Amino acid sequence: MNSSVEQALIASLDKFAAAKEIDSIAIEQRLVEVFGKDMNFLEKVEEFDEVFDEQPAFDELREVYFDLLMINFFTNDVNKLEEDYLDSKEWADIEEETIDRGTELLNLLLYINECHDEEIKPGLEDFLKEFLLVEEDEFQDEFHIYEDLISNQQLAESSVEDICSNADLLELSEEMEELFVPFMTFFLQPNTSEGVQLELVKFSNNSSFDVAVYTLIANFNKNR
């Protein structure tokens, strides 16, 4: 299992459990075990889903953690496969099978990976224009998905309270509805911050989810 993925997973689960006042040890152990298994990706997905079926209190994290499972595959599992595996029919079939899984978090985690490879700091404008290419004509699907971030970029320089209060007022798209607050908060403070985590718990209407996802992203960024 990729070490930065493991640390992000554990830190995120701990914050979610603390906000919910529940215990995360059992699901933490099971997910680390599943992520670390040497097996076919779809078999791993099946075991991953079994864990969440057994732990319904954590179910709202299922799809964002699916993104983390994908990142673990790209940064760890794929190294054990043939060099051109991601161009194979087998992987194309897996992508087709899982096309409805996960969230836009996957793009942000891929972007963070690229930032570390290029030794640059993550930034919202860079993410939108240079990574997602939202200004290019052929990437208008991305423009529409990320329009909420594009039109509210100033919030990434404001405060957690402003981000949370604006999220309540905006008519957010389906793709961004749950992720708007943790995405904006990450670009406000890309480094893990206990103060930011406490503010999310205080100001967010979905505090356990938002603090868990922010913690996942910020820890992944810190440990890359």
For residues 115 and 121, the answer to whether their CB atoms sit within 8 Å is: yes
pLDDT at residue 137 in the model:
81
pLDDT at residue 224 in the model:
82
Looking at 58-62, 123-127, 137-141, which range is the least confident one? Answer: 137-141
% of residues, the chain, pLDDT over 90: 91
The string of pLDDT tens digits covering residues 118-128 is 999 999 999 99
For residues 160 and 200, the answer to whether their CB atoms sit within 8 Å is: yes
Tally Cβ neighbours within 10 Å of residue 69. Answer: 22
Compute the mean pLDDT over every residue in the chain, rounded to the nearest whole number. Answer: 95
The string of pLDDT tens digits covering residues 172-184 is 999 999 999 999 9
| 140 vs 160, higher pLDDT | 160
Q: Please say if the pLDDT value at position 82 is more than 90.
A: no
